[in-house]
Structure formats: C-alpha cells, structure tokens
Chains A and B, each alone.
Chain A
Amino acid sequence: MTSHDVRDMLDLPDTATSRPVKKQKLAAPRPVLKGLAREVQNLSGDNPIAIVPEVSVFKKRRFASRKPAAKWELTPFKNSARTDDTLVLKHWRRKAELAPAPVGEDGHMEDAGVKPKPEIEDSTFAKYNVRVTVPDYTDEEYNSRLQNQDWTKDETTYLINLVQEYDLRWPIIWDRYEYKPPLPTMNGDAAEGAIMVPPKVRSMEDMKERYFKVAAMMMAIRKPPIKMNSAEFNLHEVMMNFNPAQEANRKKFAENAFHRTKEEAREEESLLLELKRILARSEKLNTERRELYALLEAPPSTGNIGAYTTSQGLQQLLQQLMTVDKSKKRKSIMGTEGISPATGPSNQNQPAQFERRESSVRESISGPSGSTNKKGAQNPTERRQLTEEEERMYGVSHHERLGTNGPAFRHERISKPLLSKSAVQQGKITSVLNELEIPTRLIMPTAEVGEAYDALLQSINVLLESRKLADKLAGELALARSVKAERERMAKPEQGEASNDAGGGGADSEIEREEREKSAAPSIRGGSVHKRSASVLSSVSDKSTKRQKK
C-alpha cells in the first residue's frame, strides 16, 4: 500500500508530482527510522512522521565537539614572600598549550617555551605579603630624643619588635607582652640591675602611648611635618595626640556598660525610649507654640471702631474698602508689568556671578591669592573650607591687607605711605632715611624686608611727630621766656641794682632747665642728641632690614 493508494481511497486528487517526489526521496534518503514498518512510513507520504526522535544528532554532535582532554601538569613554584627561597612546592596547572609546538611559529614559541623551564615561577600570592613598617632608631637618636623615665631602651626595642611581629594588633601584643629585663652584666651596672624591680605590668595604653610617641618622633625626624603628605600628617597628628588617660577612661566606661545587669539594661532602654518620646513631643510642642506666637504677633487693629457703629459710617467703610480693592486690582495689573524690569537685573546678575566665580577659579589656578579666600567665603557651598590643620599643612596664610583693595605689588605698598604724605613730609622722611643710609626704593623688597621697612617708616613718623611737638613746645617756651624778659625789663627800673644778679642767676637756672628739658622733649638745640636717639630708635628695625637685604 502506498500513499497513492490511500489518496485514491480518500478521493484525494492524485497529484502528478508523486513520481518525482519519490525520486527525490531516493536522491536524499530520509533518516533511517528503525522500529517502524515500511508500510507505516509510507503512510505519511511526503510529510515525515513527527514522533520519530532524532537520536543520531546527539551522538554526532558529541563526537564532533570532542577535543583532546586538557593536559595538566605538576609544576613547581616558589614564593618570593618567604625569607628562604629554597622551598619549592608543586601544584597542578593547566599545561601551557605550547607543548606541541607548531612549526609555523617555531621561533616565537620556543622563546616562550624555553624561558619558564629553568626559572621556577613565583607564587601569584606573594604580592599579598604586606608587613607593617615600624620606626627604627640608632642609639644616638634614642639618647637624644626618645629618652623616657619609665622605659628603658631595651624594653622599647622589645615593644617595637613585638609590634612588628604582630602587625600592630594591640590586643595580641598586650596578650603576649612578656618583657624580661636583660640579665645584669658583670660590670658596675650589675648592682643597679640586681636591684631592678621585676618587670612592670604594662597596660595596653602604656604600650600604645610609648609606641606612638616613638613612632611620631621618628616620623618627624625622618621627615619634617611640613613636608608630609596629608595621610602622613594625619597619622602624625593622631599619634602625637594619643591620650592614654582618656583611652583608659573610655575602656572603663565601656566595661561598666558591659557589666550591666538585665534590669539596668532594661531600665536604660526604657529611659532611652522615654527620651525619644519627650524629644518628639517637645518638637511638636515647639511648632505649636511658634504658630501660636505667629498668631499673637499679627498686627492688631488699632483704629477706632466707633466711627463705624452707625449705618452711615458702615457705608463709608464699604466705599473705602471698594476703592482700596480697585486700586489693588490696578496695582496687580501694574504689578505684572513692574516685575519684568525687576527680573531683568536678576537675570543680569547671574552671569555676573558666573563670571566672578570663573575668574576666582582662574585665580586659584594661577597661584595662591588672598582674594580666593574672600570669594570662597561668599559662596561657601562651592568651595571646601580648609580646616585649621589643613591650612597649616598646606602653608595657607591669610592676608587681611588685601581684603579691601585686592592684590597689589609690594613695592607699591611700600612706597605708598611715603607718597601719600605732603611734599614737605616726604622731604623730611627721605632726609631721615638718607641719614640712616637706607634707599627710598628698597633693593630687594621681600615680605620681611617690607614689614621691617614699614615699621621703620612708622617709627620715623613717630619721630617726626615728636619733633614737631618738641618744636612747638620750644616755641612756646621761647615766647614765655620773652614775655618774662619783658616783664623783668618793666620791673628793672624799680630794682636797678639787684637786676644784674638776678639776671645772672636766672640765666643759670635757665640753662639748668634747658638741660632738663633736653632729655624730656628735645629742643632745636638738642638736635644732635635727638638725632642720636632717633637712630637708636630705628636701629633695631634698621639692623633687621639690613640683614634681610643681605
């Protein structure tokens, strides 16, 4: 029975293609279906039977994808993190694929293949070997900087070795700390050693304090704090500021908290809850109170309501309100127009702010300038404020002098006090300077020289002021004296003879007085003295300036 027959039975149109189909089948044989009768197969016609599992495909794929098994070999390796490099251990590693060296890439492959053979590979884990670095010191350094009443050098070294051995794990260092002082030697120290008390029981805080002190000190000696980077500096600060007493207190407190009984723990918990509740409630109360205050502070109506008690008055009030309303409406219309010019400047402002900020950024890039600090204060959110420590570390200094006028050249600043004075004053100052042999224009105006110069100018000012005062006083004195002389002359005719003696005595007393005045307020005559004192006055600053100049 063929499909043709079945078609015939079912009155299906007999297709003319049945013959060629058969030929095709022969040309491309269908997969051999075992277990099915040929007749059953033929029933299906052109359509293959759906239930046939395609087992053979699996098999084929499996064999097709089969590769030679990966080769593993026992390769020796060593670990460079070890102190001795003789230990060679073996582990299994995939054999490098270069064993069956292809002929084409021979030269290249052989290089790679030959190299690892003689030298044993290093463990990939050697890089994880990290040790702490502990301070080391020489005898000299110890004696000069690290002496301590409580610690001998031997014990300090023992501590430091222990720290290194246990990688700064303090609980273990404390646990294993068993310092035995070295046995007394034969010489004179023996007596001292013999008396020595058995080793003290060191608390962890003691050890930490000693170690941190030594470490910080050595750190500072090796590298001055100014040159440290931020991490190093922080470490140094932390170690310097270690407070053993505080640490011990903290531990005591923690221990007390640790040994609470159940009741205490529960009580504390309930108290904490209570506190939380109180806080929440007080917050609520505060907001309510604030609202209440806001209500109370509303502007009270002070007007007299007596005017509105009559109907006429009410009418008036209504009209008033209406007019107010109208004007308000108009205002609101006006308002929308009025806003636009207001927004204008605000819009203009923003780019201005932008510019300023950008310029400040540029300034900060170009170099340290005081103005950045000022601007930073303006918008603190944008620029991180340096803490005091950081400022010290980075050497940031603040210049108040730049606060108002912005940056200026130093020589300008130096010459400013001179130029601001009148020509007469200038002349006087320059003459003083000439006398001190200081040029008006500084040769090397460094900051220090500038400061000294400033001080000098100030003292010159003081000097000139006092001279002015002295001149004035001297003038007054001369006037008074002339008045007196006039009076005496008037009195002369009355006491003709006695005048000579009195005049002589007066002259003497005058000289005496003058001498006294010289010291107090230098007169014109005491110019040389005054000059000397002026030079003494400025000598300190003078010296410093000269030193700086050199």
Chain B
Amino acid sequence: MASQTIASSMQPTDVYGGDEVSAIILDPGYSSVRAGFAGEDTPKSFVNSHYGVADGRSVFGDDAIHNPLAGLEIRNPMSKEGIVEDWDTATQLWEYAITSRLTSFKQSDPRTNGLNDDSKDIDIEMEGVDEGEKALEEHPLLMTETAWNTTKNRERSIEIAMESWGCPAFWLARNSVLAAFGAGKATALVVDVGASTTSVISIHDGLILKKSIQKSPLAGNWLSSQLRSLFSTTEPKVDLIPHYLISSKTPVDAGAPAQAVYRKYENNIPESFRALEEERVLTEFKESVVQVWTGPGRLGSANPAGTTNIDYVKAQPGRVFEFPDGANQMWGVDRMNVAEGMWDEKAALPVPGEPPVTKAQTIPEMVRASIGAVDMDLRAALLQNIVVTGGTSLVNGFTDRLHNELTAMYPGARIKIQAAGLTAERRFGSWIGGSILGSLGTFHQMWISRKEYEEFGANVVEKRCK
C-alpha cells in the first residue's frame, strides 16, 4: 500500500469519508424513477415510471403523460414485482430521468456554457447532444435493484450502462441495503412498503441474508384496490371521477350527490389514462384520509373497555374528503378498514379478480418469517434496528402499528423502529442510501470498471454485486 502524503490543499479525508466523483444514482421503482448525483440529499430527478405511448412514440415525465390526448396509452415498464419487464422502454425512461435533469449537456466552462444565461432552448440542445454521444460517459452509475431480481435482468442492466450509456464504472446495489444505509445502519431489518411490493429483508453488515427475503403485494397499489372496492360497496356508491373530466363544480353538503359539469372529449381517451388519473386521486385520498389502526390489538379485536376497537373508532371524529367532482363525505371507521388487511388477513376487503390475502402476506407474519430465517445471534440486533422505508409506509399510524404488533409478537425483545420523519427521506430511502454509498471514498474500489466488464462479460455483476 502506497504511503499517502496529504497535500495541504486537500481536505482531511479521514474525518469526512466522502470523495465525490459525480457518480449518478439511479433508483427505479414501480411508481417512480429516482435519479441524482451521489452526495446530495434528495434525488434531483424524480420521474413517474408510467409513460405514454401515442402514435408509436413514447413520452416520458409528468409533463407529458397527464395530457388527455387521443390514443395516449399509459404503460409501465416494470412488472408487478418491481422488476423490469420492458427493457427497451425502461432504458429510455431511465435515460430520460438522467438526461432531462442531470447530464443534459457536457460540463464546460460556466462562463461560456450558457447555464447562467436565461435560455429557453435547452431542450433542443439536449436532444442534439443525445444523439451524438453517450449519456453517461463521465459518470459512474450506481443502480438499485430489488432483492429478487433475476440474473438475466442484472446482466441486462450492466449491459445498458456499459454499452448504451458508456459508463466508466457501474455498480448494482440492493435497494433494501441502501435503505438501511440511508438510515445509518449496516445491520437492519428493512421493512420496505412501496407501490407494487412490500418486502421484509434482514441485512447483516451491508449484505442481504437471502433466506430472509419476504415479499408480498400488500403495498400501495393493493391499498388502492382496497379503496376501489370500498368505494364500490359504500352506500351511496362513490364515483371516482378524475380531475381531467371535471369542467366545473359547485359545493354540496356532505353525503349529497355531486353537482359538477363534466368535460366531454370527442376523441377517445384510453382507459389506462383514466386509471392513471384515478390513481392520483386515490393517492391523495391515501395521503390525507387513510389511517392504520395504531393498536394495541387488531381493529376488530376487543379492547379492555369491553367493546371492540371498531366501536372506539366510531366514537372518534372522522375525516372529510372532497372528490374532484365536489362530492364529499365523512370517513370514519372505513378509513382504517382499508389498511387493516396489511396486518390482519381476515380484515382485507375482497378485490374482484385477485386472490384473497393470505396470512403469510401480512406484514407481521413477514417480519416473523424473515427473523426466523436468520441466525439466532442476529435476531435481537435486527429487532433493535428495524428500518421502515417506502412511500406507502407514510400512511398514518403505520409505524405505531408495526411497533405494537412486534412488541406483542416478541415480548422479551427490545424493538426499535427507525422511520425517517421527513417525507422525502422515507420515499427516497434507498436513493439516499445510494447517494451516501456512491459518495464514499472507500466505495470507489468496489466499482465494476469498464475494463472488468469487457474482460469478464456481463456475468461480472453476478460475481461482484452480491
């Protein structure tokens, strides 16, 4: 090892472990793609994973996909399990996420690059640049993947990074590991509740314990389906009409039918577009109304007062939600019912066309299974470092319920839940972990370099990124 002489101009590197090489962190998920430079605290580029297809041309980004245009089909390149299905589009989507905000043009002297000028035609420039050269020739790329990603997919991602984008170096990290890093833990039990999947994974010293991987579909999209079945069964029925169909509305009393003027489109708006827009309304509903019964006990179980928890909730004030068409209503116990299925399979509302929720899919059971599949000596440490991440975990009362369930399950152990208080930190947990990892000076020895890729082929990712 060469002895190092630290020049006076250098910063004391052993105090601050960072060494930033303008690496780019790409964290694709089912609902959104997060991309940004390593060392920053939030991703600069946040792009909806859904993309629109019109006339055989794909459009990306929230600016493009929310226009009610004829024949704008909305699709998602990710599968229901959060892994890539449509590689061609996924590549374009990621490239859009990176080039639209991070590397749209080559870095040059700030006096002449026009960055400080008020220019309107950057978009045009960008496209011109894109065609000419590869997008990421100067940036190492750190990509995330799910713990159940397939070998083929992993190899595919390094091929894209190296061949299409020309990255000098690449690394593929598990998003749960990064979420643990983002919470400052190397050993943790990561409970990741995303859009398409919920996973519970034990991590020891920055490595996934493969036997402990647990996943289930009880996540954000499932919660939306619960809401849909709730809306279809309530009396009166709730019509879910997205914003783009409303021309104007007049305020009405709670529970009264909506009085709105609807917008008519001559051209045929595809169903998938409507589903996307409905999802936005449901997201709003989830954020503001849905709550998890915090415990103790289940929502349906009896409490010490002799009544059930449902009776208790009914006595509490509800929450009002106004739909885009002006119809509004007080939501009482139902706002807790929809999320109860995550914890108690019997409380899940039946969704047409979907298999019923099994016990093993509920979050407490997944934690139990995950903890049960690791070495005895680790269990106590894992229960003291439970990292909760993912956007759906922001549902009100989630962490409290998780804590209550786990203390009931492991009465002898000390349970400590680490859940970021900031919304952004919870949503971008794995990206933030990647940002930390990618900016560490000690990480630069890990990168798979271009030469290694050329020497060993795409399979090198399987050997190196464990």
A136 near B: Cβ within 8 Å?
Answer: no
Which of A124, A204, A264 touches B4 (beta carbons < 8 Å)?
A: A124
Q: Are the C-beta atoms of B441 and A123 separated by less than 8 Å?
A: yes
What residue of chain B has the Cβ atom nearest to residue A129's Cβ? B445
Contacts of A83 in B (CB 8 A): 452
Which of B22, B209, B452 touches A172 (beta carbons < 8 Å)?
A: B209
Q: Are the C-beta atoms of A81 and B22 separated by less than 8 Å?
A: no
Contacts of A125 in B (CB 8 A): 13, 17, 19, 440-442, 444-445
Q: Are the C-beta atoms of A258 and B10 separated by less than 8 Å?
A: no
Contacts of B440 in A (CB 8 A): 125
B257 near A: Cβ within 8 Å?
Answer: no
Q: Are the C-beta atoms of B374 and A127 separated by less than 8 Å?
A: no
Q: Are the C-beta atoms of B9 and A96 separated by less than 8 Å?
A: yes
- A84-B452, A96-B7 known; A123 and B377 CB under 8 Å? no
Chain A interface, >50% SS class:
mixed
A176 near B: Cβ within 8 Å?
Answer: yes
Min distance, Cβ B141 to any Cβ of chain A, angstroms: 12
CA separation between A170 and B377, bound complex, in Å? 11
Q: Chain A 148-176 against B: per-residue CB contact (8 Å), 1 yes, 0 no? A: 00000000000000000110011110111
CA separation between A88 and B444, bound complex, in Å? 10
A262 near B: Cβ within 8 Å?
Answer: yes
Q: Are the C-beta atoms of B9 and A97 separated by less than 8 Å?
A: yes
Q: Chain B 408-443 against A: per-residue CB contact (8 Å), 1 yes, 0 no? A: 101111000000000000000000000000001110
Q: Are the C-beta atoms of B210 and A122 separated by less than 8 Å?
A: no
- A127-B4, A258-B410 known; A166 and B22 CB under 8 Å? no
Q: Are the C-beta atoms of A171 and B374 separated by less than 8 Å?
A: yes
Q: Are the C-beta atoms of B1 and A171 separated by less than 8 Å?
A: no
B140 near A: Cβ within 8 Å?
Answer: yes
Q: Name B28-66 residues within 8 Å CB distance of A.
A: none
Q: Are the C-beta atoms of A90 and B410 separated by less than 8 Å?
A: no
A126 near B: Cβ within 8 Å?
Answer: yes
Chain B interface, >50% SS class:
loop
B6 near A: Cβ within 8 Å?
Answer: yes
Q: Are the C-beta atoms of A169 and B7 separated by less than 8 Å?
A: no
Residue among A86, A123, A129, A171 with the most chain B CB within 10 A? A171
- A169-B204, A172-B205 known; A79 and B377 CB under 8 Å? no
Contacts of A171 in B (CB 8 A): 204, 209, 374-375, 377-378
- A89-B168, A90-B22, A255-B376 known; A261 and B444 CB under 8 Å? no
Q: Name A165-221 residues within 8 Å CB distance of B.
A: 165-166, 169-172, 174-176, 204
Contacts of B2 in A (CB 8 A): 80, 122, 126
Q: Are the C-beta atoms of A204 and B375 separated by less than 8 Å?
A: yes
Min distance, Cβ A111 to any Cβ of chain B, angstroms: 14
Q: Are the C-beta atoms of B1 and A87 separated by less than 8 Å?
A: no
- A126-B1, A169-B207, A171-B204 known; A261 and B411 CB under 8 Å? yes
Q: Are the C-beta atoms of A122 and B4 separated by less than 8 Å?
A: yes
Contacts of B412 in A (CB 8 A): 257-260, 264-265
Which of B140, B207, B413, B449 touches A258 (beta carbons < 8 Å)?
A: B413
B447 near A: Cβ within 8 Å?
Answer: yes
The number of residues on chain A lying at the interface, defined by a beta carbon within 8 Å of a beta carbon of chain B, is 47
What residue of chain B has the Cβ atom nearest to residue A176's Cβ? B210
CA separation between A257 and B204, bound complex, in Å? 22
CA separation between A176 and B455, bound complex, in Å? 26
Q: Chain B 152-175 against A: per-residue CB contact (8 Å), 1 yes, 0 no? A: 000000000000000011000000
Min distance, Cβ B161 to any Cβ of chain A, angstroms: 14
B211 near A: Cβ within 8 Å?
Answer: yes
B379 near A: Cβ within 8 Å?
Answer: yes
Q: Are the C-beta atoms of A91 and B21 separated by less than 8 Å?
A: yes
CA separation between A86 and B168, bound complex, in Å? 10
Contacts of A80 in B (CB 8 A): 1-2
Q: Are the C-beta atoms of A90 and B21 separated by less than 8 Å?
A: yes
B20 near A: Cβ within 8 Å?
Answer: yes
Q: Are the C-beta atoms of B9 and A172 separated by less than 8 Å?
A: no
What residue of chain A has the Cβ atom nearest to residue B374's Cβ? A171
B275 near A: Cβ within 8 Å?
Answer: no
A254 near B: Cβ within 8 Å?
Answer: yes
Min distance, Cβ B104 to any Cβ of chain A, angstroms: 19
Min distance, Cβ A514 to any Cβ of chain B, angstroms: 83
Min distance, Cβ B25 to any Cβ of chain A, angstroms: 15
A293 near B: Cβ within 8 Å?
Answer: no
A58 near B: Cβ within 8 Å?
Answer: no
Q: Are the C-beta atoms of B445 and A254 separated by less than 8 Å?
A: no
Q: Are the C-beta atoms of B20 and A93 separated by less than 8 Å?
A: no
Min distance, Cβ B304 to any Cβ of chain A, angstroms: 15
What residue of chain A has the Cβ atom nearest to residue B4's Cβ? A124
B380 near A: Cβ within 8 Å?
Answer: yes
A92 near B: Cβ within 8 Å?
Answer: yes
B237 near A: Cβ within 8 Å?
Answer: no
Q: Name B450-466 residues within 8 Å CB distance of A.
A: 450-452, 455, 466
A94 near B: Cβ within 8 Å?
Answer: yes
- A172-B207, A257-B412 known; A123 and B376 CB under 8 Å? no
Q: Chain A 67-92 against B: per-residue CB contact (8 Å), 1 yes, 0 no? A: 00000000000011111101111111
Q: Are the C-beta atoms of A87 and B22 separated by less than 8 Å?
A: no
Contacts of A89 in B (CB 8 A): 21, 140, 168-169, 444, 447
- A125-B19, A258-B412 known; A251 and B207 CB under 8 Å? no
Q: Are the C-beta atoms of A94 and B9 separated by less than 8 Å?
A: yes
Q: Are the C-beta atoms of A254 and B411 separated by less than 8 Å?
A: no
Q: Name A83-139 residues within 8 Å CB distance of B.
A: 83-84, 86-97, 122-129
Q: Are the C-beta atoms of A175 and B19 separated by less than 8 Å?
A: no
Which of A170, A175, A259, A265 touches B211 (beta carbons < 8 Å)?
A: A175
CA separation between A170 and B212, bound complex, in Å? 15
Contacts of B442 in A (CB 8 A): 125, 128-129
Q: Chain B 130-150 against A: per-residue CB contact (8 Å), 1 yes, 0 no? A: 000000001010000000000
Contacts of A86 in B (CB 8 A): 449-451
CA separation between A264 and B205, bound complex, in Å? 32
Min distance, Cβ A85 to any Cβ of chain B, angstroms: 9
Q: Are the C-beta atoms of A265 and B411 separated by less than 8 Å?
A: yes
Q: Are the C-beta atoms of A123 and B444 separated by less than 8 Å?
A: yes
Residue among B17, B378, B445 with the most chain A CB within 10 A? B445
Q: Are the C-beta atoms of A87 and B451 separated by less than 8 Å?
A: yes
Contacts of A93 in B (CB 8 A): 9-10
Which of A122, A126, A251 touches B376 (beta carbons < 8 Å)?
A: A251
- A89-B169, A89-B444, A172-B204 known; A254 and B376 CB under 8 Å? yes
CA separation between A172 and B413, bound complex, in Å? 22
Contacts of A170 in B (CB 8 A): 375
Min distance, Cβ B14 to any Cβ of chain A, angstroms: 8
Min distance, Cβ B31 to any Cβ of chain A, angstroms: 30
Q: Name B210-263 residues within 8 Å CB distance of A.
A: 210-212
What residue of chain B has the Cβ atom nearest to residue A263's Cβ? B411
Contacts of A251 in B (CB 8 A): 375-377
Contacts of A87 in B (CB 8 A): 168-169, 444, 447, 449-451
Q: Chain B 378-411 against A: per-residue CB contact (8 Å), 1 yes, 0 no? A: 1110000000000000000000000000001011
CA separation between A93 and B377, bound complex, in Å? 44
CA separation between A88 and B442, bound complex, in Å? 15
- A79-B444, A171-B377, A172-B205 known; A124 and B13 CB under 8 Å? yes
Min distance, Cβ A169 to any Cβ of chain B, angstroms: 5
Can you give 14 contacting A-B residue pairs, CB < 8 Å?
A79-B445, A82-B449, A84-B451, A87-B447, A87-B451, A90-B21, A90-B22, A91-B22, A93-B10, A124-B6, A175-B209, A204-B375, A254-B376, A255-B376
Identify 6 new A-B residue pairs, CB closer than 8 A, beyond the known A84-B455, A123-B441, A124-B13.
A89-B140, A124-B6, A125-B445, A127-B1, A172-B209, A175-B211
Task: Point out residues on B near A: beta carbons under 8 Å.
Answer: 1-2, 4, 6-7, 9-10, 13-14, 17, 19-22, 138, 140, 168-169, 204-205, 207, 209-212, 374-380, 408, 410-413, 440-442, 444-445, 447, 449-452, 455, 466
Q: Which 10 A-B pairs have the closest CB atoms?
A: A125-B441, A87-B449, A262-B411, A94-B9, A81-B445, A89-B21, A86-B451, A251-B376, A175-B209, A171-B375
